[in-house]
Structure 1
Amino acid sequence: MPTSFTSSLLSIIIHNPLATAGIVVVGFLFTHILLPYFLDLHSLRKFSIPGPRMAALSDLWLGYYSANGHRSEVVHALHERYGRIVRIAPNHVSIASPDALQTIYAHGNGTLKSDFYDAFVSIQRGLFNTRDRTEHTRKRKLVSHIFSQKSVLEFEPYIRVYVKELSEQWSRLYELAVKGGRGDEGQGQGGGWYGRDGRLWMDVLPWCNYLAFDIIGDLAFGAPFGMIRACKDTAQIPASGPSADLTDSKSEVQIKEIPAVKILNGRGEYSMSMGVLPPMYRPFAKKLPWFAAGAADVKALAGIAIMAVRKRLAAQEAGTLSVRKADLLEKLQRGKDEEGKFMGKEELTAEALTLLIAGSDTTSNSTCAILYYLARTPSAQAKLHAELDKAVPDVEELTMTVEDVKADRLPYLDACINEGLRIHSTSALGLPRLVPKDGMTVEGVTFLEGTVLSVPSYTIHRDTEVWGDDIEDFHPERWLNLVGDKKELVNKTFNPFSVGPRACVGRNLAFLELQVIVGSLVRRWDFVLEDGLEQELLTSEGFLRKPLGCRVGIQRRD
């Protein structure tokens, strides 16, 4: 027989829905928030790890700041308040220390990626989001060879093709706006521009996006997306929706065009916010309108990769590749694992999606930020102009070559790029790792198995003990003439591509792209900010930290 308490409770549930809802809420709060907090299974409360009380109680605190686009700035403010070690979620500790970077992400330390990365899986797990160590080792061997120094140097001429195409488009608009006396707002192709004071004024962010997408389209799939030529954010996907079997190049498929950059941004915001939530919350979150729109972006982005692979394989089979055969996809096709097996079509498409995301977003964000900081710092831009003029005296040469950008010839160019990557850390957030079975000691604290640790690049790139007090100033000179302990400390702290076995395999290609792009554009053009030197670079952070725009005036250096 039920007790009187049970009978009363059943009566309330049956006859009072409002009270029932209250019981459910209280039960949820107790079992999912209060009980885990007091049980303290990972001893974070025992170790007195400081941080906001709400962060200690619920993942929703970090989820909120991840969704609002300024997570790295918020976490940085916490470190300024509490010190190097801060609790940012019930089971997540952020550690802003160069030594922690080397410990948490080092080779052979036993850490694994957390379930945060499950939110980034679409077609199937790729090199970026696989969490299994054995599978990651296999995939890295299949992928890393395509980014060898030899392969990277082979790609340089094709990078230059699109930098030249971009500069020619700017010259066309420059002639219309400045030489042609156009003072009104330019409409049509490249709209949003006008001429004033002998300069072409425009937002360079869209152009950086077009350039990055066309370059990765060519390098990865043998043909550009055509964004620079169209002056438009556009890519093709299957009209029926993404499906890996659509890479069968012999089947008929209807296509439609979508805004690839916009889709990529939406996907980053969605996956970032979803990844912060505990797995049990995610099915419910997907039903909310904002998350539902993000899930649609994930599918659309997969469709872009599927369509690009489909077109590439069709051209390969027909012998009609428009540019060449030695692209990244072809190199992936030739890769074999230890058992001598090639990638299957679905795995190939998943890795192509990773190439598309990593090769477009990071390059466009970084290019835009570096151009902004050069425009904001005329003295640095003047020094770079002088170095580039000496290296490439012919002003009619629209692009720099790999020989031009060698570090011993253009040290100030490399310093400008590094300084831009320091201040505007595209990958700014702390990438989460799980403490292994035997625990891990970081900054004097021994964390238990299963604790999530991360090191925020945004914050360690602003460590005054490493960089000095002028951390928000664009000061390329800090990278010159580094020697001894100072050089070692800077190299240990600088983290634009992560470190250890999960570091970015494409970092050599990414840096070469920035050398050619920034060197070529600054050699040809002079940049100033529209509203004076104090104009702020507004950003929003999904998985990557992106500029929201960069309106500048450019003048051709004839």
Structure 2
Amino acid sequence: MDEILKLRSQSPQFSIATNFLLTCLALIVVHLVHTRYKNGLHKIPGPFLASLTSLWKWNIVRQEQMPFVNTKLHEKYGPLVRIGPHHISASSTESIQVVHRSRSGFTKSGIYGILQPRFEGSDLHNVFSTQDAEYHAALKRTMGSLYSTTAVLPLEYHLDDCTKLFMNKMNGIIGSGKSAPVDLAAWLQYYAFDSLGALNFSKMLGFLESGTDVDGICHLDHEQMMYFAVWGQITPIERAWAKTKSFFTGARKENPLFNFALKLVMDRQEKPTDSKDMLNAFLSLHEASPDKFTIRDVVAAAYINVVTAHDVVAITLRAVVYYLAKNMNMQKKLQKEIDDAQLSTPSKYSEITSLEYLLAVTNEALRIHPSTGLILERTTPKGGVLLHGKHIPEGTIIGVNCWVVNRDKGIFGEDADTFRPERWLDNDPQQISKMRTNMFTFGAGARNCIGRNLAMMQLTKIIVELYRNFDITLADPNKDWSVSGGWLTRQSEMDMILTKRNRG
């Protein structure tokens, strides 16, 4: 110690360096204290590190664990949890009403901007990602009718084509035998992509035909969504990094799905067809109202229909087959309902909407395994808001996590962690209405999923054909699947055994 003091007294440089480091340390401490206590957010419980830096949630998302961690945090702390310096995770019927359904001015946060591709020199806003509430409302009014049940029913034949091809491929894998192992996690993703290609562009993308990940699109899409999830937790750093890369390379990272959708739109403009599909519906809307629905809006709608919808369909279908394979009595109950209904081949959507257990199974899969694993971020409006007795100041990022609220025992019962389709049938009408109102898989309020009717038709039609034709069991009943807990909750490692049913 004496030697250090002697060195310090003899070396001005040592003294300056020490003072500089101490000053920096003091400034860091002041910044962290300010961050934790600014605007009274310290009154919202949560992990200590989360109150100091966004790197806490960045790390959790990077590990693909956020929906599971988020659920445990709410079990520990209650309906409001601080998961970042300016981020609140909310979970309750009150939170859904105040944050997502009310007209109090909650707008989407900047995280959604990362998902917007570049088109003709600027970000391409769309009905999913835009932060502009007025633009979103106008866009939804203009194009909303295209997603009604009445509007999507004429497109059903596209799904029939995809379903026939899917069933042919499954039977081809089984061959002359009675059963065979199938990687349904992959095949259901292929079905989702191809069926959306057919619905939107009258063109399957080749996944089902080849039985492969065409051009690595599934892999690239997963990487893109993980990038969005991870770096969306620290958007200022992501924006700075993206600008730096763009400055030095002159280009942004390629988006294969956007390039695919853009090419199909341009081709259709050059060579019009009379196909019944979503793209022609968009183009007709553009021709009728070019000022309200521009060609940019056409491109954006075509792109977002594929990029957001395919994972909702694939993830939900995986949940159906996984949970029914773990609960064979439920699978037999569904098969009996399908058999007794004596449906057309392939089944018509108008026939299957009356199958109560099928709809219960689909709703339960949507509930227990929603496709989104992070909070749906909104920005608190001017003046802030009072929620669960706590004042949430303006500018705070707040949102409900589907995984948390969909397992709320106060809404869905004490067995909310269990896959049980009967809850949608056995409860009294008031309780079922409460569950329907607060199931958050498709969002809520003005920003709920515009493609819900289309998704339900895709889901239920293929579920009917799968269980009408096959018994589906786990290849290894003792092995759990793997779930990616990022923005999307994709599943893998769920190999199945498909066995042809004897329905004679």
In the superposition, the TM-score normalised over structure 2's length comes to 0.89
| Partners of 2:374 and 2:486 within 8 A in 1 | no
Structure 2 partner of 1:491: 436
- Once the two structures are superposed, what CA deviation does each residue of 1:21-62 show, in whole Å capped at 9, x if it has no partner? x68974884575443224x1x3211xx211111000001111
- Once the two structures are superposed, what CA deviation does each residue of 1:80-114 show, in whole Å capped at 9, x if it has no partner? 11122111001111111122112210141211111
Write the distance in 1 (CA, Å) between the matches of 2:190 and 2:492: 15
Structure 1 partner of 2:57: 62
- Once the two structures are superposed, what CA deviation does each residue of 1:148-192 show, in whole Å capped at 9, x if it has no partner? 22111111121111011100111111115x2xxxxxxxxxxxxxx
Write the distance in 2 (CA, Å) between the matches of 1:504 and 1:393: 29
Structure 1 partner of 2:76: 81
Give, as a single letter, the amino acid of the residue that structure 1 aligns with 2:199.
Answer: L
Change (3 A) 1:135 1:199: same
Structure 2 partner of 1:247: none
Structure 2 partner of 1:356: 306
Provide the secondary structure at the position in 2 that maps to 1:44.
Answer: helix
Give, as a single letter, the amino acid of the residue that structure 1 aligns with 2:200.
Answer: A
Q: Is 2:80 the partner of 1:98?
A: no
Give, as a single letter, the amino acid of the residue that structure 1 aligns with 2:458.
Answer: E
Give, as a single letter, the amino acid of the residue that structure 1 aligns with 2:256.
Answer: A
Give, as a single letter, the amino acid of the residue that structure 2 aligns with 1:491.
Answer: R
Q: Mind listing any 5+ residue stretches in structure 1 that lack a counterpart?
A: 1-10, 179-197, 235-257
Write the distance in 1 (CA, Å) between the matches of 2:258 and 2:240: 20
| Partners of 1:334 and 1:342 within 8 A in 2 | no
Of 451, 454, 458 in structure 2, the residue corresponding to residue 509 of structure 1 is 454
Q: Is 2:370 the partner of 1:425?
A: yes
Provide the secondary structure at the position in 2 that maps to 1:428.
Answer: coil
Write the distance in 1 (CA, Å) between the matches of 2:137 and 2:23: 45
Q: Please, which moves more after superposition, 211-220 or 346-355? A: 346-355
Of 246, 267, 276 in structure 1, the residue corresponding to residue 224 of structure 2 is 267
Of 492, 499, 502 in structure 2, the residue corresponding to residue 555 of structure 1 is 499
| Partners of 1:385 and 1:522 within 8 A in 2 | yes
More helix by share: 2
Q: Is 2:382 the partner of 1:402?
A: no
Deviation at 1:553, TM superposition (A): 0.4
Structure 2 partner of 1:389: 339
Deviation at 1:552, TM superposition (A): 0.7
Q: How does 1:415-494 map to 2 (within 5 A)?
A: 415-494=360-439
CA RMSD of aligned residues (A): 2.8
Q: How does 1:228-307 map to 2 (within 5 A)?
A: 228-234=208-214, 258-280=215-237, 282-284=239-241, 296=253, 299-307=255-263
| Partners of 2:232 and 2:238 within 8 A in 1 | no
Write the distance in 1 (CA, Å) between the matches of 2:293 and 2:263: 18
| Partners of 1:272 and 1:543 within 8 A in 2 | yes
Give, as a single letter, the amino acid of the residue that structure 2 aligns with 1:301.
Answer: L
| Partners of 1:497 and 1:503 within 8 A in 2 | yes
Structure 2 partner of 1:370: 320
Write the distance in 1 (CA, Å) between the matches of 2:97 and 2:385: 12
Deviation at 1:133, TM superposition (A): 1.2
Write the distance in 1 (CA, Å) between the matches of 2:23 and 2:484: 36
- Once the two structures are superposed, what CA deviation does each residue of 1:498-529 show, in whole Å capped at 9, x if it has no partner? 01000000001111111101111111111011
Deviation at 1:312, TM superposition (A): 3.4
Change (3 A) 1:155 1:230: same
| Partners of 1:423 and 1:472 within 8 A in 2 | yes
- Once the two structures are superposed, what CA deviation does each residue of 1:349-407 show, in whole Å capped at 9, x if it has no partner? 2222111112211111111111111111101000001000001267xx3x221122123
Give, as a single letter, the amino acid of the residue that structure 1 aligns with 2:352.
Answer: V
Write the distance in 1 (CA, Å) between the matches of 2:202 and 2:232: 33
Give, as a single letter, the amino acid of the residue that structure 1 aligns with 2:491.
Answer: P
Q: Is 2:165 the partner of 1:220?
A: no
Write the distance in 2 (CA, Å) between the matches of 1:120 and 1:350: 11
Provide the secondary structure at the position in 2 that maps to 1:453.
Answer: strand
Q: Please, which moves more after superposition, 145-154 or 160-169? A: 145-154
Provide the secondary structure at the position in 1 that maps to 2:281.
Answer: helix
| Partners of 1:205 and 1:368 within 8 A in 2 | yes
Of 164, 172, 189 in structure 2, the residue corresponding to residue 209 of structure 1 is 189
Q: Please, which moves more after superposition, 133-142 or 465-474? A: 465-474
Write the distance in 2 (CA, Å) between the matches of 1:23 and 1:350: 52
Q: Please, which moves more after superposition, 111-120 or 300-309? A: 300-309
Provide the secondary structure at the position in 2 that maps to 1:101.
Answer: helix
Write the distance in 1 (CA, Å) between the matches of 2:409 and 2:269: 51
| Partners of 2:207 and 2:213 within 8 A in 1 | yes
Structure 2 partner of 1:121: 116
Q: State, as a whole percentage, how many aligned pairs show the same letter.
A: 26
Of 34, 38, 43 in structure 1, the residue corresponding to residue 40 of structure 2 is 43
Change (3 A) 1:275 1:337: farther
Aligned length: 482
Write the distance in 2 (CA, Å) between the matches of 1:164 and 1:19: 75
Write the distance in 2 (CA, Å) between the matches of 1:23 and 1:120: 41
Q: Please, which moves more after superposition, 91-100 or 276-285? A: 276-285
Write the distance in 1 (CA, Å) between the matches of 2:26 and 2:288: 51
Q: Mind listing any 5+ residue stretches in structure 2 that lack a counterpart?
A: 1-11, 119-123
Provide the secondary structure at the position in 2 that maps to 1:141.
Answer: helix
Deviation at 1:339, TM superposition (A): 7.3
Structure 1 partner of 2:179: 199
Write the distance in 1 (CA, Å) between the matches of 2:460 and 2:98: 30
Deviation at 1:472, TM superposition (A): 3.0
| Partners of 1:87 and 1:93 within 8 A in 2 | yes
| Partners of 1:51 and 1:78 within 8 A in 2 | yes
| Partners of 2:179 and 2:497 within 8 A in 1 | yes
Q: How does 1:538-549 map to 2 (within 5 A)?
A: 538-549=482-493
Structure 2 partner of 1:130: 130
| Partners of 1:114 and 1:131 within 8 A in 2 | yes
Provide the secondary structure at the position in 2 that maps to 1:541.
Answer: coil
Write the distance in 2 (CA, Å) between the matches of 1:428 and 1:355: 20
Deviation at 1:301, TM superposition (A): 3.1
Provide the secondary structure at the position in 2 that maps to 1:93.
Answer: strand
Provide the secondary structure at the position in 2 that maps to 1:544.
Answer: coil
Write the distance in 2 (CA, Å) between the matches of 1:90 and 1:365: 31
| Partners of 1:115 and 1:279 within 8 A in 2 | no
Of 530, 533, 553 in structure 1, the residue corresponding to residue 475 of structure 2 is 530
Moved over 4 A (4+): 22-28, 285-288, 336-340
Give, as a single letter, the amino acid of the residue that structure 2 aligns with 1:543.
Answer: W
Deviation at 1:328, TM superposition (A): 0.9
Structure 2 partner of 1:190: none
Deviation at 1:273, TM superposition (A): 1.4
Give, as a single letter, the amino acid of the residue that structure 2 aligns with 1:43.
Answer: G
